[in-house]
Amino acid sequence: MSEKSFLDEAEVPENVAIESQLPLNAIDIESQKDMESGRYHALRSLHKWFAARPTPAVRLAVLASVYPGEIDSDELLRLMKIGPKEMDTGIADYVEEKFTEKKGNGTLDDHYDYPNPNTQSPTEAEIKNLQSKLREAWGGELPTILDPTTGRGIIPFEAIRYGIPAKANELNPVPSLILKAGLEYAPEVGSLDPAIREWRDKILDTARENIEPYYPTEDPGRQILNSAMTYVIQCESCGGEIPLVSKWWLNKDSDGGDAILPVYEDGEVRYTYTRVEDAPDTYDPEDGPLRGESAECPHCDVVNEQEDVQEKIHDGDFEFSIYGVNYETSTGERKYRAGNEYDQKGMEKAKQRVESDFDLLTFLSEPVDVSSRISDPSSYGMHEWRDIFTPRQLVVQYEFLQAFEEYKPKITDEYEEQRATAILTVLSLAASRAMNYNSRLNQWRDSRGYGSHIFTDNNLIMKKMSVDNNLSAPRRGYRKHSEHVIDAYEKLVNYLPDTNSAEVVSMDAGQLTTEFESGSVDAAIVDPPYYSSIMYAELSDVFYVTQKEYLEDIHPDIYSSSLTDKDNEAVANPYRFEEIADDEQSKDDLADQHYESKMEEIFAEVQKLLSSGGVMTVMFTHREMDAWDTLTSALISAGFTITATHPIKTEMSDRIGVQGKASADSSIFLVARKQDTESPERTLWEDVQDGIRQAARNQAEEILDSGYNISKTDTAIAAYGPTLQKYAEAFPVVNKKGEEIRPREALSQAREAVTGVLAERFLKTEGLEQLDSLTRWYILSWLIYENDTIPYDEARQLGVAANVDIDNIKRTTKIWGKSQKDIVLKDHTDRVQDIVLLKSDSADNPSSRKYPVDPTDTRFTYTIDTVHGAIHVYEREGPRSAWEWLSDRDLKSNQEFEATVTALLEVLPTDSDMREVLVNLVSGETGDYLDINLDHIDMSGEDRQTELGDHQ
C-alpha cells in the first residue's frame, strides 16, 4: 500500500498544462521523427510488443498532466529535450521551419541540429527545478502517475526518467516481463555488463555445439545463415511434386538478383541456383506454381484448389523443402545457393530426433487458442504451439533452452537474488526475441534476402514461403538478437541516473484498488487497448509459451497460467462471442459490450485511485466510430467529464497489420476529471446539436489554418475531441422522447460538419451541393480517403453526412463492394455493361446483366452513372464514339455532369485509370465539346488526346 497522504482540494493545482494550449506542431514533428527506424525508445528493442507511442507524445502526456497551470512553449520543449541546447526562445517555430526544409546529406539530427530526444534525459538541475514546481503545486509532495494498461511501459519509464513517482500495471505476462527489466532492474540493479555477455556466450557456445549436426553442409568452409523453406505437396491429378512457391527470388539487388531455377522431371522437383540476369530468356522468377492460395501443377498444369492445398497441409500430407540457402563463406562473404540433399538430411535428422526424444514430445505442447479464422494457425494443422515450428526449428529452440537451464543454477549461485534474476530475465528476452525470427509463421523477404519476424502484419497466418534461421550463426542469429536486447537494457540504465523504480504490478486493471490505495494517484495516463484492432493475448501466446519454459520458476507470479488471460482483456473480439450470439445480440454487439464494460471497470478504478484534484489523460487511436462511442461511454459512466482534447500524431502513416485498417495515424488526448457527485440534469439533444457541430467545424478549420500535418481522415478524427468534450459537458443527453443519445450521434454530427469544411477547402467545383446524394458521397469518399479502400463504418457515416444509406444502394448500384471490414469504391469497369456486346447479337449475354449501368440509355438515375458511362464509351469505342455519345445526351450544358467530372478530376489520384480516361475526355475535341473550365486543376505532364483520332 502507498503511504501517500490524501491532498485537500486547496493543495492541488486548479488546472494543469495539458488543459491549456500546447506546441502541438513541434511535438507532432518530433513524434514523426521518433517513429523512424532506429530512433525509437530503447524499451521497444527489448522485445516485440504490439503498440508503442512515440516518446515525445508520451513525454507531453506525462509532463503536461502534472505541470501546474499553463506552461511556456519554449520551457516545455526544452524540458522535453526538443530544440538546440543554446536556443532560448522560438523553439517551436525553429522545429517547424526545419521540418519544411530539404534535408541534406547528413543525419536527421544533423539537419535539426540537436540530438534525438529519445537519447536525452533531463539534467539534475532540470529535474530539481521541475520537482520544486510540482511539490509547490501538489501540496508539498511529488504527484504520482499511474498507467493502468501499461504495455511495454514507456509512459511510467518516462515518468521516473523525470523523477516523477509512477505506478504501472499490465495484465499480459509478455509486456509484464519487459516492465520487470525496464522499470525495476534497470533503475535498481543497474548495468549487467560485462557479466551478462559472458553468460550469453556460454549459452550460445553450448547450444551451437548441439545444433551443428542439424545444419550439415557440403562445403565445411560455409556456414548456413538462413534458408528459404516451402511445402511440397503432391498433385491431385498426376501425383507430381508441387512446391508452394509463388516466386523464385532469393534476393533482389540492383543488378538483378539471386534466384532459384526449378527443374521438374519425372514428377519430382529439384532446385538449381541462378543469377536472374544470367538465366534463360524464358525464365521468370515471378512465375511459381502458387497462384494465390491455389497451386498449378508444373507437371500436368492442373490447378489444385485452395481447399485441397490447405487440407494437405492441415493433415501433414506434405514435405518441408529447403529451396534456397543464404550462407557465409570462410572470408565472411554472404552468398546464396540452391537447397540440396544436405539440407534435407538436416531436416530429416531433426524430424527423427523430435519423434524419438521423450523430452521433446511435450515441449511447447500448449494448445493454440486463436479465435479469428483469418489468423488461426490451427486451420493449417498447427493445433499446439510446437507445431508452428519445423522439426529442426523445434530442436533449435529446445537446445537453446537446455543451454540456458545448464547455466541458470550457476548464475543464481554467483550473484545476489535480484541481480541473478535480472540477468536471467534479460537473457530469456533475448531467446524469445530470437524465436520471433525462426518459425513457420515467418515470411521469406526476397527484397532483403532473409526472413522477416513473425508479426510483420500482426497475425498468425502460416507462410508458404517461410524461413529457417540458423540461430547459432552470428548474422541474424541468437547472438545478434541478444546484442539488441542487452544494448537496449544498458541504454535504459544510462537513461535513469539516480532515480527510483516504478511500482509494477501484473493484474486485471479493473481490480487495481486491491493493490493501490484510493486517492494515491494524482495523474492517470491511459493508453487503452485498440478496441478491435489487435488481439494482444491471442498473438502474444506465441511468446508466452516460450518465456514460460525459461522463467516459470523465476517469475511464478507472471507465468502461473497455461496461456495468457483472454477473458479479462479489454478488446472487442467478435470471434470470442460466436457461440453465444443470437438474433437479438450479434457477436459484434457482444464484443462492443465486453470492451465497454472492461473499460468502464478500468476507468472506475482509476476514478477511485485519483486524488481529489487528479487528472486522467487518455491517449486513444482509432478510426471506427464504434470504438470512440464505447470508450467515451465507459469514461462518462465511470464518473469523468472531459476538460480538454488535443490531436497528436502517434502512428506510422504506412502502418500495416491492424484488423480492418482501423487505426488512424493520429491520436486524440482526452483530458478528464472527476464529475461532480450531484446528479446532473438531462440535456435535450436539440439544444446541444448545433454547438457540437460548430465545435467540430472550428477544430477542423483550426487544424487546416495552422498547417498541422495530418491527413484529411485524421482531421475528421481530430474533431472528435472537442465534440466529445461538448457531449460530456452536456451529459446525460436525451431526445424529446427522453431516450438516451449516445456519443456516436455526436460524432456523426461532427463527421458531417468536418466533411463540409473539407469540401469547402479542397473542392473548387461549383454546384456540388446540387448533385444527387450518391454522386456526392462517391466524390467525398475520394476526397477524404484519397484511395478506393475505406473502413466500412467511416464510409457509412460519410453516407449519413451525404444523405445516402450505402447499405440500401449497394445491390442496385454496385458502386462499392465489401472487403473484410473495408469497402472498396468501384469504377466504370465494375459497373458499366459492355457497349460493344449490347450493340451486337450478344445483348442478352448474362455476363453483362450483373452491371447496373446500361451505356445505351439516354438518361441515368445518378450523375456518377452518366460519368462512368462516358468513361466506358471513350475507353471501349474511342473518342469519336464518345463525342457522339456525349452529344446525343446533350451533356455540354449539363451542370451536374460538369460538376461531377470536375470534382473527380480534383479528387482522384493522378495514377488512377479513371482519372487518366477523364483527362482525355476533357481534352481534344471531346473536351472542346464539353467546354469545362479546368483552369484551377493542374493537369500538366499528363497524357491527353489532341484530336478524335487519338487513343483509339
Q: What is the mean pLDDT of residues 258-287?
A: 95
The SS3 call for residue 488 is helix
Q: Which of 29-38, 136-145, 587-596, 892-901 has the highest mean pLDDT?
A: 136-145
Query: How many CB atoms neighbour CB 253 within 10 A?
Result: 12
pLDDT the model gives residue 679: 59
Pick from 346, 395, 401: which is nearest to 224 by CA?
346
DSSP per-residue codes, 701-732:
HHHHHHT----HHHHHHHTHHHHHHHHHHH-S
pLDDT the model gives residue 708: 63
More confident residue, 330 or 263: 263
- Could you give the CA distance from residue 577 to residue 569 in angstroms, rounded to a whole number? 14
pLDDT the model gives residue 572: 80
Residue 52 has pLDDT above 70, yes or no: yes
> How much is the mean pLDDT over the chain?
89
Q: What is the mean pLDDT of residues 888-915?
A: 90
- Could you give the CA distance from residue 11 to residue 5 in angstroms, rounded to a whole number? 11
Q: Distances from the Cα of 810 to the Cαs of 644, 702, 775, 806, 821, in angstroms?
A: 39, 36, 13, 6, 15
pLDDT the model gives residue 839: 81
Pick from 831, 822, 810: which is nearest to 785 by CA?
822
Q: Distances from the Cα of 681 to the Cαs of 607, 724, 730, 733, 741, in angstroms?
A: 21, 18, 9, 9, 14
Which range among 377-381, 506-510, 785-789 shows the weakest confidence by mean pLDDT? 785-789
564 close to 542: Cβ distance less than 8 angstroms: no
Which range among 461-465, 561-565, 567-571, 947-951 shows the weakest confidence by mean pLDDT? 947-951
- Could you give the CA distance from residue 823 to residue 660 in angstroms, rounded to a whole number? 10
Q: What is the mean pLDDT of residues 575-581?
A: 82
Residue 475 has pLDDT above 80, yes or no: no
pLDDT digits (tens, 9 = 90+) for 408-418: 999 999 999 99
Q: What is the mean pLDDT of residues 289-296?
A: 93
At 270, the pLDDT band (50, 70, 90 cuts) reads very high
Residue 786 has pLDDT above 80, yes or no: yes
pLDDT the model gives residue 558: 94
Pick from 685, 798, 682: which is nearest to 736 by CA?
685
pLDDT digits (tens, 9 = 90+) for 406-458: 999 999 999 999 999 999 999 999 999 999 999 999 999 999 999 999 988 78
- Between strands 241-243 and 789-791, the pairing is unpaired
Report which DSSP code applies to 740.
B
Which range among 79-83, 361-365, 391-395, 889-893 shows the weakest confidence by mean pLDDT? 889-893
- What are the beta bridge partners of residue 824? 789, 817
Element (H, E) at 620: strand 610-620
- Could you give the CA distance from residue 548 to residue 558 in angstroms, rounded to a whole number? 9
- pTM over 0.75? The answer is yes
Report which DSSP code applies to 585.
S
pLDDT digits (tens, 9 = 90+) for 499-512: 789 999 999 999 99
pLDDT the model gives residue 613: 87
pLDDT the model gives residue 9: 46
Residue 764 has pLDDT above 90, yes or no: no
pLDDT the model gives residue 234: 97
Element (H, E) at 542: helix 536-551
Which range among 36-40, 569-573, 710-714, 844-848 shows the weakest confidence by mean pLDDT? 844-848
At 582, the pLDDT band (50, 70, 90 cuts) reads confident
- Could you give the CA distance from residue 219 to residue 217 in angstroms, rounded to a whole number? 5
pLDDT the model gives residue 937: 75
Pick from 189, 191, 160, 173: which is nearest to 47 by CA?
173
Element (H, E) at 56: helix 55-64
The secondary structure of 668-709, three-state, reads EEEEEEECCCCCCCCEEHHHHHHHHHHHHHHHHHHHHHHCCC
At 797, the pLDDT band (50, 70, 90 cuts) reads confident
Residue 653 has pLDDT above 70, yes or no: no
Share of the chain above pLDDT 70, in %: 93
- Could you give the CA distance from residue 815 to residue 827 in angstroms, rounded to a whole number? 7
Residue 934 has pLDDT above 60, yes or no: yes
pLDDT digits (tens, 9 = 90+) for 309-320: 999 999 999 999
Would you say the C-alpha torsion 823, 825, 829, 832 has a positive or negative sign?
A: positive
What CA dihedral angle connects 79, 84, 86 and 89, to 10 degrees? Answer: -70
551 close to 177: Cβ distance less than 8 angstroms: yes
DSSP per-residue codes, 216-283:
--SSTT-EEEEEEEEEEEE-TTT--EEE--S--EEEEETTEEEEEEEEEETTEEEEEEEEGGGS-TT-
Q: Within 13 Å, how many C-alpha atoms sit on residue 450's CB side?
A: 16
Report which DSSP code applies to 158.
H
